[in-house]
Amino acid sequence: MSKGTVSEVHAFTPPPEDPARAGGILTIDLGQVVANWRHLKEKAASAICAAVVKADAYGLGAVPVAQALFDAGCRHFFVALPQEGAHLRAALGAEAKIWVLNGLLPGEAAFYADHGLRPVLSSLPEVTEWAAFCRMREMRLPAAVHVDTGMNRLGLNLDEAHRLAGDRDLLGACRLELVMSHLACADEPGDPMNERQRETFAEIRALFPDVPASLANSAGTLIGSAYHFDMVRPGIALYGGNPFSDRPNPMRAVVSLYAPVLMVRRLRKGETVGYGATWRAERPSRVAVLGLGYADGYLRSLSWPARNGPAQVMIGGHYAPVIGRVSMDSICVDVTDVPEDFVERGVRAEVLGPNVTVDEVAKWAGTISYEILTSLGGRYTRLYVPAGNGARS
């Protein structure tokens, strides 16, 4: 290749994104996110309804999701990491209250303060460091305290909570604006651990009588007002996932994903499909190859026959099972029973949507809807339906 040719290649710029060239089209309906938040807000009654937007709003885009919720009236947002919080602050401005669930990272107090972030403090060393920073700045900066009530993950233990409640110097240095805990089994409303945690949290809340309290996640918001306290913190329910393991989903679907048919091939009886030849045709068959794979977040565990499967897609109003192994960039589906006119190169199949729900895909993969959503890859063309379309009144 001549130097002139190389120069010409370097002069090219990427073309504008075109959905027709994408491996898949991922649509996020912000109106349905807002509708779900309003539904949860109604259930929470007098309690504040916050929004958990960590992990890029469960893979759907923290900034557009949070902006839609902010415009709808949400003011409290929970992220996991301070960097997530800083990006959100730049998008939402000063009015939003942004809480960092992973707490205060060592030596990073100035970053939190400079970006208006509120650490959720889970240990006495974190409380001590935040209090010392507040004294140095001569400002009583806001924070939350997380107390463990049985999950044994983040949070002060009960003895530490009692010690903190009695330490006026520590509490006086900062502005404690929330005491919180997290339910372990709220997705199963009948589990007795829910009531044990609620009772324990009520005792802890009494140690901080003037501080707002928060216990409920998505499922906790829906299982009863006794769990609401002063603030609820829904996450998965905002994004259309079922917060319950044993009840119909009360939330509206938010996400749809369509992948293109790359080719259709005919197999003789006995021929196999994919790596490992794990699927064998029991009859003359037609197979469609779709343009998405595990590099796009379509989990390899959805390979034939899947744990609770087979996994399905929908083409032309007909379900078609995923066959063979999920590859990096493609999957194969059996379209033998789909009319030929409905399946040809360029047609798009519903991989997630109203007929193939995120909870069904999670069941087939042997996982939860959280993992399905947060695994959605970066190669899709992402289309956002503006809030206001389909929102509950």
**Which positions are catalytic?**
54, 275
Cα angle 64, 50, 383 (rounded to 5 degrees) comes to: 20
CA distance 10 to 149: 59
Q: Contact at 8 Å (CB) between 103 and 129?
A: no
CB atoms within 10 A of CB 46: 7
Q: Contact at 8 Å (CB) between 30 and 385?
A: yes
Joined tokens for residue 216: 């409920």
**Strand partners for 49:** 232
CA distance 329 to 260: 12
Please give the distance of CA 195 from its chain centroid, rounded to a whole number: 26
Please give the distance of CA 104 from its chain centroid, rounded to a whole number: 22
Cβ-based neighbours of 246, under 8 Å, separated by 6 or more = 188, 189
Q: What's 38-72 look like in SS3?
A: HHHHHHHCCCEECEECHHHHHHCCHHHHHHHHHHH
Joined tokens for residue 6: 């190389």
Please give the distance of CA 8 from its chain centroid, rounded to a whole number: 43
Can you say whether the dihedral through the CA atoms of 125, 183, 212, 242 is positive or negative? positive
Joined tokens for residue 260: 């293109």
